[in-house]
Amino acid sequence: MIESNIHAGRQDVPPEGPAALKYGISITDACVDWAMTLDMLNQLNEAVGKRREKLRTTATNGVNGHA
C-alpha cells in the first residue's frame, strides 16, 4: 500500500486549529508526495509488464522449455 498525498510528510493539527492546516499534507500517516507516487507506480507497471512477459513465454514454451 502507498500512503500518498499531494505533498510528502504529515502534520499535526496546529494550536490555531484546523484552519491553519497546510493543504495537501496528511494529518494521519506520513505520505509520499505525488511525484514519488508516480515514480513508484511507473516502476510497478514496468515490473508487472516484465512478469507478464515471463509468464507468457513460460506458457508458450512450457515450464521446462518444452511445449
Tens digit of pLDDT at every position of the chain (67 positions):
999 999 999 999 999 999 999 999 999 999 999 999 999 999 999 999 999 999 999 888 776 655 5
**What residues contact residue 21 under an 8 Å CB cut-off, 6+ apart?**
11, 13, 14, 27
56 domain-assigned = yes
Could you list the residue range(s) of the whole structural domain that residue 24 is in?
18-60
Give pLDDT, residue 64: 62
Q: What is the pTM of this model?
A: 0.74
* Number of domain units in the chain: 1
CB-based contact 35:49 (threshold 8 Å):
no
Residue 26 Cα distances to 6, 20, 46, 66, angstroms: 9, 13, 28, 53
Quick one: pLDDT at residue 58?
A: 87
In a domain? residue 8: no
Please name every residue paired with 32 in a beta bridge, in sequence order, or none if there are none: 4
Instruction: Tell me if 11 is assigned to some domain.
Output: no
